[in-house]
Chain A
Amino acid sequence: MTAPALPQSEIKRSWYKRNEIAVTPWLFLIPGVLFFIVYVIAPIFQSVGISFTEWDGLGDPVNVGLANYAELFDDDAFYTSLRNNLIWLVLYLLAIPAGLLIALLLNQTVFGIRLYKSLFFFPFVISQVVVGLVFTWFYDPTFGLFNVALSWIGLGPVNVLGDENYVTYGIIAAGLWPQTAYCMILYLTGLNAVDPEQIEAGRLDGAKGMRMLWHVVIPQLKPATFIAFVVTIIGALRSFDLISIMTNGGPFGESRVLSFYMFEVALSEYGFRMGYGAAIAVVLFLIMLCFIVYFLWSMYQEERGR
């Protein structure tokens, strides 16, 4: 076979044609990256900048250095929010074992099980606003089902959302409802992919029940657990809708978390203190950043493993 001579046009190919493979990805990336930088990446840095100023959102920001952060140190509301954020983080993780438990219960093939699975998943599809409303009524001291149930076992009515000791736990329980549903669906999909041969091998070795679950099944569910962990942590730190709907931070600000307190400071009747709000947001961001770095590091390990 003789090599054909390069046609004249081949030499005069346009610059784009010659560099097509190197240039195309950038052409495809530009709109998305640009949008993302303007609306997501740049605002992070702008917020950090604003946190060093005093600003009502209208006039010119006045530089105050670290004053906002210094104020945080003496702000009781900030500590309450921070404490509640930690409670949220820890208790929200209960959604993972709870989701696994429900998934194990539902991982059968009886008649109608598909419908059961979808209906168990139902709470996740509903807006958190509606979940909040539903649970507000559920806890209502005069007619809520919660207190009806309490009275059956002889306990007096508890105004969950009006009691500063219970309010955060009450809201977290409402949040756990959809989050557990999410974790359940992750585990149901994960359980589908568990290698039946390993289960059989485990059975031959005499593993049963909890031992089988712990040593054979859970290790194989690792990808599902990772995603469940990621979405639950993010969900816990993003908790805003439920608090806003159910208690609006009350009573006496006892159910605030950082995300809600920030909003209150920057955009509500407490006045438009953008600088102070931004400082709270930066603290929240730094907490999140620890997790983001961990998530990315895990993903990086996986990418390299390919």
Chain B
Amino acid sequence: MFPTPIEKSSAGVQVAYKTMLPIALILWLLPLISIMVFSIKPDADFTTGNYWGVPSSFEFFTNYGKVFFESDMPRYLLNSLLITIPTVIGCMILSSMTGFALGIYKFRSNLWIFFMFIAGNFVPFQILMVPVRDLTLDMGLYNTIQGLVLFHIAFQTGFCTLFMRNFIRALPFELVEAARVEGISEIRIFWYVIIPLMKPALAAMAVLIFTFIWNDFFWAVVLTQGVESQPVTAGITSFNAQYRAAYHLMSAGSIVAALPPVAMFFLMQKHFIAGLTLGAVK
């Protein structure tokens, strides 16, 4: 193990390390901690200039209550869910298929199609912006949730295919051969042999895509514009315009907007990290 385990050093060093950890963590998360403090402060603290002092009263319920009951926030959150969940499902379906095709079969254009997916996944969004917006307008899906979902599914399929294909490649190929010898059709191999083995990869991917899509801002701005379809990342700017300089409410709103992926991460931490490393670092 590198660096040398701390247990092997002197007691002094161990104590120093253990006190350093929480201090470093607090410094690292300071910007976040500050908005958490903001979000429970009363309005009055900001007018009197008590930014960093102890909150003069604990207004957690008032502030978050306002966010949930007196603003468009719930609607934005719902939109985000309606965008994120279908995208995750769509990506799982499409990429388990493409991943299967590219991971199991050997044919001449295999690597080229794989590289097409990877390369497409790396392009800057701006090169797609004008045509995709135009296409969405033409289909009558501008400013709709479906329009955004369709694009997200298509774009994320690139990343998901990379992910799935590499995972399937690492499975023992003998399984497929054995199934073929038994005379099982290819489609049934996909369904009964490969899919059950892919469950951990699908879980990892689902968590990742959920986070990516929930946090997307650019496409939300390009393809939607109103309360009826904008996700929370885009909605928060109008929320902030509504509550300009009401820092306690803006902080509470930001925390609410950031929470779902955070919850997802803590619930599915193992899968999340397996996913981030693209399976390349075991």
* A residues lining the B interface (CB < 8 Å): 20-22, 24-26, 28-29, 31-33, 35-36, 38-44, 46-47, 50, 57, 104-105, 107-110, 116, 118-123, 125-130, 133-135, 137-138, 143, 145, 148, 177, 182, 185-186, 189-191, 193-194, 196, 199, 212-213, 216-217, 223-224, 226-227, 230, 234, 237-238, 240-241, 244-245, 258-259, 262-263, 266-267, 274, 277-278, 280-282, 284-285, 288, 291-292, 295-296, 299-300, 303
CA distance A274 to B280 in the complex (A): 39
Q: Name the contact of B117 in the complex, choosing from A36, A122, A194 (C-beta under 8 A).
A: A36
Chain B 242-268 interface 0/1 with A at a Cβ cutoff of 8 Å (1 = within): 000001001000110110011011100
B128 at interface (Cβ–Cβ under 8 A)?
yes
Which residues of B are found within 8 Å of A281, using beta-carbon distances? 124, 126-127, 129-130
* Contacts A104-B3, A107-B2 known; 15 new A-B pairs at CB < 8 A: A20-B185, A24-B101, A31-B97, A39-B135, A47-B129, A47-B131, A118-B269, A129-B257, A130-B255, A130-B257, A133-B236, A240-B218, A259-B125, A295-B118, A303-B111
Chain B 116-155 interface 0/1 with A at a Cβ cutoff of 8 Å (1 = within): 1111101111111111111100000000000000110111
A47 and B101 contact, CB distance less than 8 A: no
Chain B 3-26 interface 0/1 with A at a Cβ cutoff of 8 Å (1 = within): 101110000001001100100110
B122, B240, B266: most-surrounded residue (chain A CB, <10 A):
B122
A238 and B281 contact, CB distance less than 8 A: no
B30, B118, B130: most-surrounded residue (chain A CB, <10 A):
B130
B64 at interface (Cβ–Cβ under 8 A)?
no
B163 at interface (Cβ–Cβ under 8 A)?
no
B25 and A119 contact, CB distance less than 8 A: yes
Q: List 23 A-B contacts (CB under 8 A).
A: A20-B186, A24-B101, A28-B97, A29-B97, A29-B101, A35-B154, A39-B132, A39-B155, A57-B133, A107-B3, A110-B14, A116-B25, A118-B266, A120-B28, A125-B261, A130-B255, A133-B35, A138-B34, A145-B31, A189-B277, A193-B282, A277-B126, A278-B130
Q: A108-B6, A116-B25, A134-B35 are in contact. Are A47 and B128 (CB under 8 A)?
A: yes
Which residues of B are found within 8 Å of A138, using beta-carbon distances? 31, 34
CA distance A43 to B123 in the complex (A): 11
Total chain B interface residues with beta-carbon distance under 8 A: 98
Which residues of A are found within 8 Å of B107, using beta-carbon distances? 22, 25
Which among B55-63, B196-204, B209-217 touches the partner chain?
B209-217
B258 and A126 contact, CB distance less than 8 A: yes
B98 at interface (Cβ–Cβ under 8 A)?
yes
Nearest CB of chain A from residue B43's CB, rounded to whole Å: 15
CA distance A291 to B199 in the complex (A): 32
CA distance A185 to B113 in the complex (A): 30
Q: Name the contact of A40 in the complex, choosing from B38, B120, B262 (C-beta under 8 A).
A: B120
Nearest first, the 5 A-B pairs at minimum CB distance are A39-B154, A43-B131, A32-B98, A127-B215, A25-B101
Q: A119-B25, A295-B118 are in contact. Are A227 and B32 (CB under 8 A)?
A: no
B280 and A213 contact, CB distance less than 8 A: no
CA distance A263 to B217 in the complex (A): 13
Which residues of A are found within 8 Å of B6, using beta-carbon distances? 108, 110
Chain B 160-182 interface 0/1 with A at a Cβ cutoff of 8 Å (1 = within): 01000000000000000000000
A227 and B130 contact, CB distance less than 8 A: no
B54 at interface (Cβ–Cβ under 8 A)?
no
Nearest CB of chain B from residue A201's CB, rounded to whole Å: 12
CA distance A133 to B35 in the complex (A): 9
Residue of A nearest to B190 (CB): A28
B32 and A35 contact, CB distance less than 8 A: no
Q: A32-B97, A40-B158, A244-B217 are in contact. Are A125 and B211 (CB under 8 A)?
A: yes
B125 and A238 contact, CB distance less than 8 A: yes
Nearest CB of chain A from residue B275's CB, rounded to whole Å: 11
Nearest CB of chain B from residue A212's CB, rounded to whole Å: 7
A125 and B265 contact, CB distance less than 8 A: yes
B124 and A237 contact, CB distance less than 8 A: yes
B115 at interface (Cβ–Cβ under 8 A)?
yes
Which residues of A are found within 8 Å of B111, using beta-carbon distances? 300, 303
A126 and B117 contact, CB distance less than 8 A: no
B98 and A33 contact, CB distance less than 8 A: yes
Residue of B nearest to A202 (CB): B2
CA distance A42 to B127 in the complex (A): 11
Residue of A nearest to B215 (CB): A127
A29 and B257 contact, CB distance less than 8 A: no
Which residues of B are found within 8 Å of A234, using beta-carbon distances? 122
Q: A127-B233, A240-B218, A295-B122 are in contact. Are A108 and B17 (CB under 8 A)?
A: yes
CA distance A190 to B131 in the complex (A): 40
Which residues of A are found within 8 Å of B120, using beta-carbon distances? 36, 40-41, 44
A133 and B186 contact, CB distance less than 8 A: no
A39, A118, A138, A212: most-surrounded residue (chain B CB, <10 A):
A39
B95 at interface (Cβ–Cβ under 8 A)?
yes
Which residues of A are found within 8 Å of B240, using beta-carbon distances? 133
A119, A226, A244: most-surrounded residue (chain B CB, <10 A):
A119
CA distance A33 to B98 in the complex (A): 8
Which residues of A are found within 8 Å of B128, using beta-carbon distances? 39-40, 43-44, 47
Residue of B nearest to A138 (CB): B31
Which residues of A are found within 8 Å of B218, using beta-carbon distances? 240-241, 263
B227 at interface (Cβ–Cβ under 8 A)?
no
Nearest CB of chain A from residue B126's CB, rounded to whole Å: 4
